Chains A and B, each alone.
Chain A
Amino acid sequence: MKHTKPYQGLGLALPPLALFLLAGLALGAIIALVVFAVLGGSQVDVIDIATDTVVWRIIRFTLWQAALSTLLSALFAIPVGFLLFEYKHFYGRELLLRLFAIPLVLPQIVAVLAIVSLYGNQGFVTQALKQAGLPIGTIYGLSGILIAHVYFNMPLVARVILGALNAMPAEYERLSHQLNMGPLQRLRHICWPYMRPALFNASALVFMLCVTSFTVVLTLGGGPRATTLEVGIYQALTFDFDIPRAVVLTVMQLALTAFAVYMFARAGGNIDAGMTLERTRPLLIKHKASQIILAVVVLGVAALFVASPFVAIFAKGIAADLIKLFGQSAVQKAIMTSFVLGALAACLCIAVTLALCEGAVRAGFMQGAYSHAASLVLVVPPIVIAAGWFILLRPFVSIYEAAPYLVVSVNAAMALPFAMRFVLPARQTAAQRHDRLCAQLGIQGFDKWRLVLLPVMIKPLSVGFAFAFALSLGDLGVIALFGSEKVQTLPYLILQRMGSYRTNDAAGLALILCVFTLAILMFADRSSVSLKDKK
Chain B
Amino acid sequence: MRKSILLGTLLSSVAAAQAQDVTIYTYESFTAEWGPGPQVEKAFEAKCDCDVTFVSAADGVALLNRLRLEGGNTDADLVLGIDQNLIAEAKAEGFFAPHGMDIEAAAVPGGWSDDVFVPYDYGYFAIVYDTQKIDTPPSSMEELLNGDVSNKIAIQDPRTSTPGLGLMLWIKKLYGDDAPEAYAKLNDRILTITPGWSEAYGLFTDGEVPMVLSYTTSPAYHMIAEDNDRYQAAAFSEGHYMQIEVAGLTKKGAENPKAKEFLSFVVSPEFQDIIPETNWMLPAAATSKPLNPVFDKLVQPDNALLYSSDDVALNRKDWVAEWLEVMSR
Whether A499 pairs with B199 at a CB distance below 8 angstroms is no
Whether A219 pairs with B194 at a CB distance below 8 angstroms is yes
Whether B208 pairs with A122 at a CB distance below 8 angstroms is yes
CB of B32 within 8 Å of the partner chain: yes
Whether A121 pairs with B70 at a CB distance below 8 angstroms is no
CB of A291 within 8 Å of the partner chain: no
Binds A, one of B99-107, B185-193, B236-244, B286-294: B185-193
Whether B61 pairs with A223 at a CB distance below 8 angstroms is no
Of the residues A123, A218, A502, contact of B208 by C-beta under 8 Å:
A123
In the assembled complex, the CB of B236 is this many whole angstroms from the nearest CB of chain A, namely 22
Q: How far is the CA of A225 from the CA of B66 in the complex (A)?
A: 30
Q: How far is the CA of A387 from the CA of B193 in the complex (A)?
A: 26
Whether A394 pairs with B192 at a CB distance below 8 angstroms is no
Contacts of B190 in A (CB 8 A): 222-223
Contacts of B1 in A (CB 8 A): 40-41
Whether A235 pairs with B29 at a CB distance below 8 angstroms is no
Of the residues A112, A221, A391, A400, contact of B69 by C-beta under 8 Å:
A391
Whether A500 pairs with B65 at a CB distance below 8 angstroms is no
In the assembled complex, the CB of A225 is this many whole angstroms from the nearest CB of chain B, namely 5
Contacts of A57 in B (CB 8 A): 328
The interface bits of chain B over 1-32 (1 if a CB of A lies within 8 angstroms of the residue's CB, else 0) are 11100110011001000000000000011011
CB of B50 within 8 Å of the partner chain: no
Q: How far is the CA of A39 from the CA of B8 in the complex (A)?
A: 13
Of the residues B193, B206, B324, contact of A222 by C-beta under 8 Å:
B193
Whether A483 pairs with B55 at a CB distance below 8 angstroms is yes
Whether B159 pairs with A40 at a CB distance below 8 angstroms is no
B8 to A, closest residue via Cβ = A395
CB of A109 within 8 Å of the partner chain: yes
Whether A481 pairs with B34 at a CB distance below 8 angstroms is no
Whether B2 pairs with A235 at a CB distance below 8 angstroms is no
Binds B, one of A12-20, A237-245, A260-268, A280-288: A237-245
Whether B208 pairs with A387 at a CB distance below 8 angstroms is no
Whether B160 pairs with A485 at a CB distance below 8 angstroms is no
Whether A223 pairs with B208 at a CB distance below 8 angstroms is no
Q: How far is the CA of A57 from the CA of B2 in the complex (A)?
A: 37
Whether B328 pairs with A225 at a CB distance below 8 angstroms is yes
Contacts of B28 in A (CB 8 A): 484, 496, 499
Q: How far is the CA of A223 from the CA of B207 in the complex (A)?
A: 19
Q: How far is the CA of A117 from the CA of B317 in the complex (A)?
A: 35
Whether A40 pairs with B2 at a CB distance below 8 angstroms is yes
A235 to B, closest residue via Cβ = B159
Q: Which of A120, A218, A234 has the most C-beta atoms of chain B within 10 angstroms of its own C-beta?
A: A218
The interface bits of chain B over 190-209 (1 if a CB of A lies within 8 angstroms of the residue's CB, else 0) are 11111111110111011111
CB of B221 within 8 Å of the partner chain: yes
Whether B2 pairs with A238 at a CB distance below 8 angstroms is no
CB of B225 within 8 Å of the partner chain: yes
CB of A495 within 8 Å of the partner chain: yes
In the assembled complex, the CB of A324 is this many whole angstroms from the nearest CB of chain B, namely 13
Contacts of B14 in A (CB 8 A): 398
Q: How far is the CA of A341 from the CA of B58 in the complex (A)?
A: 20
Whether B193 pairs with A224 at a CB distance below 8 angstroms is yes
CB of B147 within 8 Å of the partner chain: no
CB of A503 within 8 Å of the partner chain: yes
Whether A395 pairs with B11 at a CB distance below 8 angstroms is yes
Q: Point out residues on A near B: beta carbons under 8 Å.
A: 36, 39-41, 54, 57, 109, 112-113, 116-117, 120-123, 140, 214-215, 218-225, 227, 231, 234-235, 237-241, 328, 330, 387, 390-391, 394-396, 398, 400, 480-481, 483-485, 495-496, 498-503
- Interface pairs (13), CB distance under 8 Å: A39-B6, A41-B2, A117-B206, A117-B208, A219-B199, A219-B203, A223-B190, A224-B157, A234-B160, A235-B159, A238-B65, A481-B66, A485-B31
A-B contacts besides A121-B152, A483-B56, A496-B32, 19 pairs, CB < 8 Å: A109-B199, A122-B206, A122-B208, A218-B157, A219-B199, A220-B192, A227-B328, A235-B160, A238-B62, A241-B65, A330-B33, A395-B11, A400-B55, A480-B62, A481-B57, A495-B198, A500-B29, A500-B35, A503-B206
In the A-B complex, the 6 residue pairs with the smallest Cβ-Cβ separation, listed nearest first, are A395-B10, A498-B198, A235-B159, A218-B195, A480-B58, A39-B3
